[in-house]
Amino acid sequence: MTASSASSPALRLSATSYPGAIPGVVLPAYDRDKVQVGVVHLGPGAFHRAHQAFYFDQLLAKDPRWGICAVSLKSPGVRDALEPQDGLYTLAQLDAETTFRVVGSIVEVLVAPEDPPSVFARLAAPTTRLVTLTVTEKGYTLSAEGGLDETHPDVVHDLANPREPRSAVGYVVEGLRRRFLAGLSPYAVVACDNLADNGWRLKAAVVAFAGKLDADLAAWIEREGCFPRTMVDSITPATDDALRARVLAATGLEDAWPIQREAFTQWVVEDVLPADAPDLASVGVTLTDDVRGFERAKLRLLNGVHSTLAYAGILRGHETVFEAISDPALAALARDLMVQDIIPTLTAPRGLDLAAYAEAILARFRNPEIRHYLAQIAWDGSQKLPFRILGTLTEALEAGRSIERLVIPLAAWMRFVALRAKSGEAITDPLGDKLAELGVAVTGDARTDVSAFLALEGVFPHALAQNPLFVAAVEKAYAELA
Ligand code: CS2
């Protein structure tokens, strides 16, 4: 390296600079100028860029129709980072083998609140065949009972102002309304978040929302709408400066927002997509009529145990998943939960050996190449725990099995909330204010503390919160975590 190149600032990743990336970096294997938008994605956070955008990046090498218009529903951060990079970003796969890939599938980034008409135009375009979503659990605006939460402030707003929506459901409905009026077929809506029966729940919420505006529209969506259920999986820790530096060193190009993930990635989609949908199977997506089996197994084994490690791990002073799973007590808890408590509630999809699957998940948690912060997984506990733990727990109760271990993540979450609140740290959760209040007020007395948490609106279904066996088990676990 010459003295001048050592001191000159690095080139920023962009359409003109990327061909000059350090050899070995995987580059788009297609002409980006020929890519058309066929997919609108709502919520282009790290997971979307690690996962669905990676599959479309491979698909574009075979078929240029499936470029992505990424729509941020709230903040301009992704657009501000990616626009100067012509939508390009680096995906670092950090595992036994490390690879760096420049992903080119996002060809447009819109910030919905700044420009709703452009979002509607994309949604209503005949060429748009797929709308995918990663808006996290809370983005589905569902009630604890699972239907559309009509009291949610964004839903209330969107029903009053359907042409200026804020919520994902509001956008999906307005886009569908325009297609309905134009005599177009609906786009397929592919929910890619960790919710049990994600597509079904979304469809029910969309139909309920549309029904408040126009009964014909609701009937059309009910009849013609395609909302496959999916399972998505790839461990994607948040981006940090260490990753930015690593990506710069490996590619020779500066990237304002690279993404990191493990090598493992899986996307299972219910096999109901229309014939003119992209050929996802050709890039490794599993299309199946048994998505439920895959989705339950992943949500309960991986995410359920992730949340357990997050809360119990933080209480034991750990920072990352790797540290937590290296703690023998937590490793034993994780394995016992999987083998003794969760697997008995699952029905294995054809070809999946649940015991081997659980072991493979534990091995992924032991990946030393990534620092996956427990604090990141701990976010939004009020939204995640119902899907990750309460389903397993309710079924165990119904079957008369022990729930002794299954209540540990719940009790650990309560202790975590109290710890954060009492030290004045923010709790990242849609119920954050309420949780902070509760956490400050708890006294350590298991009976009163647990009863205050179980009374939280929208987290614990009423019947469960009233079940004496459940209440006693949570109290015991809570007392033991003192
Ligand atoms: C994690 C998930 O942050 C979390 O809550 O449990 O993001 C998890 O890493 C992914 O679902 C893995 O596919």
- Residue range 93-105, pLDDT digits in tens: 999 999 999 999 9
Ligand 1 pocket check for 194: Cβ under 6 Å: yes
User: 1 CB contacts (<8 Å, ≥6 apart)?
Assistant: none
3-state class of 187 per DSSP? coil
By alpha-carbon position, which residue is closest to atom 5 of ligand 1?
Answer: 377
- Residue 3 CA to ligand 1 center (angstroms) comes to 44
CB-based burial, 4-21: b 16+ in 10 Å, e otherwise: eeeeeeebebeeebbeeb
Q: Residue 394: CB within 6 Å of ligand 1? A: no
Give the count of beta carbons closer than 10 Å to the beta carbon of residue 421. Answer: 20
Quote the pLDDT of residue 145. Answer: 79
- Closest-CA residue, ligand 1 atom 13, reads 233
Say if ligand 1 is within 6 A of residue 303 CB.
yes
* Residue 376 in contact with ligand 1 by CB distance below 6 A: yes
CATH class of the region 292-480? mainly alpha
* CA of 232, closest atom in ligand 1: 13
Residue 355 has pLDDT above 70, yes or no: yes
Q: Does ligand 1 have an atom closer than 6 angstroms to the CB of 130?
A: no
372 C-alpha to center of ligand 1: Å? 10
303: CA distance to ligand 1 center in Å? 6
pLDDT > 90? residue 250: yes
Beta bridge partners of 110: 71
Binding site membership of 383 for ligand 1 (Cβ less than 6 Å): no
Check pLDDT > 70 for residue 449.
yes
What angle do the packed helices 168-182 and 198-213 form, to 10 degrees?
Answer: 60
Q: What is the pLDDT of residues 80-127, one digit of tens each?
A: 999 999 999 999 999 999 999 999 999 999 999 999 999 999 999 999
Asked whether 378 lines ligand 1 (CB < 6 A), one says no
How does residue 9 score in pLDDT terms, banded at 50, 70 and 90? Answer: confident
CATH class given for the domain over 3-289:
alpha beta
Domain ranges across the chain:
3-289, 292-480
pLDDT digit string, tens, across residues 284-322: 999 999 999 999 999 999 999 999 999 999 999 999 999
Give the integer Cα–Cα distance in Å for 248 and 241.
11
**Residue in this structure with the two tokens 């294997």, named with its chain if needed:** 29
Can you give the C-alpha Rg of the chain in angstroms?
Answer: 23
pLDDT over 70 for what percent of the chain? 99
Pocket probe mutation, ligand 1, options 264, 303, 388, max atoms within 8 Å of Cβ:
303
- Residue 299 Cα to ligand 1 midpoint, Å, equals 9
Q: How far apart are CA 181 and CA 226, in angstroms?
A: 18
Encode pLDDT of 357-383 as tens digits: 999 999 999 999 999 999 999 999 999
Quick check: CB of 233 below 6 Å from ligand 1?
yes
Give the pLDDT score at 140.
97
Alpha carbons 29 and 330: distance in angstroms, whole number? 43
